[in-house]
Amino acid sequence: MSIPDRIRSYQDELTAIRHDIHANPELGLEEYRTADLVAAKLAEWGIEVHRNVGKTGVVGVLRSGNGQASVGLRADMDALPILEATNLSYASKNPGKMHACGHDGHTTMLLGAAKYLAETRNFNGTVNFIFQPAEEGLGGALEMLKDGLFQRFPCDSVYGMHNRPGLPVGKFITGPTARAAGGAFFDVRITGKGAHGANPQFGIDPVLVACHIGAALQSIVSRNIAAMDTAVLSITRIQSGDAYNVIPQHAVMAGTVRAMKREVMEKVEANMRRLVTSVAAGFGAEAELDFRVIFAPMINNEAEAVAYGNAAASLVGEDNVRRDAPPGMGSEDFSFMMEQVPGAHVNLGNGDSAALHNHMYDFNDETIPYGVALYASIVEKKLPKGTAA
């Protein structure tokens, strides 16, 4: 029986797990119920369970044979602060929280791989099933790494995946080198001098300063970053003042920066600091920049990307695997794990669904067998039976 056919034999069980997780979404570092479910299922299938790796993270360890090589498989567990509007029978029971990115599906697919590998044991070595909390900008990968993830659970390579709406079910997308942008969040706090709105000559207007800083910051990508590099700088919030007739004392700005290289991100930050302070000083105001890297660029190891693509092609045929897809400007904190251990990441088709982070989104249950099969297949190919200890 092929891997996908065996996995389809327990499709109903996995679908029920996915619907349960979807109905009970939890935000980053609050995934207590989800972690309980994951740990219970791993234990039920005879897999060694480790809790509280990165607060709410779970790692399952499965060994077979006497091989010394090890593989890490990773999925994310957290939901988003979105009010669900799908009206599904298994829609969120927690108002204002929703699995709008498909992490319920990712967790289910990794559980499915754990079940399959625990039953078949068609590998020689160790598999670490990494269930990560807080992927959505709250630093879950870093929390697990701070807890000694790869020191406690050594991996020779790591693999992850993410669903992609609009890509047909049964198709995969990957590529060498960069797959997702690094991401930073920033805040700018401007201090001026409050005054009556009728007498601006007695004040220093932080709103005017914010406008000029905003315009100046837009020059960074076009004038400080090489044309062959990629960067995005978006100001997404400007707030100041409470009254029509008062020039406020403070203004705040916030936004995000994305780049495909760490050095490009550093260059953007350096130029932001220069412009923020100098533009404010030109108006007699002061300004401070808080710049926080939330995601590293996600870089596929070329050899592991080839291996992962080969595993996918063995399941669905080469025509259904695109290996040269351009990277996206979204971010993925699996990147921090891949900075420490060679690995690869793929997108798999979610069919004709709503977009990610949309209140009408739902993970496609028909995708489950393909994700489970890919996780299982890469383990069997990287840790083949019959290899020497």
What is the distance in angstroms between the CA of the first residue and the CA of the last residue of the chain? 28
**Could you tell me which residues come within 8 angstroms of residue 16 by beta carbon, excluding any fewer than 6 positions away?**
none
Kindly report, residue by residue over 27-69, the tens digit of the pLDDT.
Answer: 999 999 999 999 999 999 999 999 999 999 999 999 999 999 9
Helix (H) or strand (E) holding 374: helix 368-382
Q: Is residue 370 a contact partner of residue 190, using CB atoms and an 8 Å limit?
A: no
DSSP code of residue 362? -
Which DSSP category does 386 fall into?
Answer: T
Q: Tokens 């309980």 map to which residue? A: 36
Q: What residues pair up with 193 in beta bridges, in sequence order? A: 204
Facing residues of 177 across strands? Answer: 300
CATH 3.90.180.10 corresponds to the domain 182-295: no
**2 pLDDT band (50/70/90 cuts)?**
confident
Secondary structure (3-state) at 166:
coil
Contacts of 176 (CB under 8 A, 6+ apart): 300, 302, 305, 306, 323
Are 165 and 354 in contact, with CB atoms under 8 Å apart?
Answer: yes
Say yes or no to pLDDT of 17 above 90.
Answer: yes
The domain spans of the chain are 3-178+300-382, 182-295
3-class DSSP assignment, residue 89: coil
Q: Mean per-residue pLDDT for 81-87?
A: 98
The pLDDT value given to residue 388? 52
pLDDT at 125: 98
Query: Cα(96)–Cα(135) distance, rounded to whole angstroms?
Result: 18
Rg for the chain (alpha carbons), in Å? Answer: 24
Can you tell me the mean pLDDT for 79-101? 98
Residue 386, pLDDT > 80, answer: no
Residue 330 confidence (pLDDT) above 90? no
Take residue 317 and report the two structure tokens written for it: 């045929």
What would the two tokens of residue 387 be?
Answer: 């290899």
- Mean pLDDT of the 241-260 span: 97
Strand partners, 232: 258
pLDDT tens digits, 140-171: 999 999 999 999 999 999 999 999 999 999 99
Give CA angle at 141 (267, 359), nearest 5°: 90
Q: Per-residue pLDDT for 260 more than 90?
A: yes
Concatenated DSSP letters of 90-148 = T--SSTT-B--SSHHHHHHHHHHHHHHHHHH--SSEEEEEEEE---SSS-HHHHHHHTT
- As a whole number, mean pLDDT of residues 252-271 equals 97
Cα distances (angstroms) measured from residue 25 to each of 84, 101, 148, 253: 11, 11, 27, 31
Give the per-residue pLDDT at 204. Answer: 98
Q: Three-state SS for 311?
A: helix
Is 378 within 8 Å of 323 (Cβ atoms)?
no
The CATH architecture annotation of domain 3-178+300-382 reads 3-Layer(aba) Sandwich (3.40)
**Taking a C-beta distance cutoff of 8 angstroms, is the pair 104, 18 a contact?**
yes
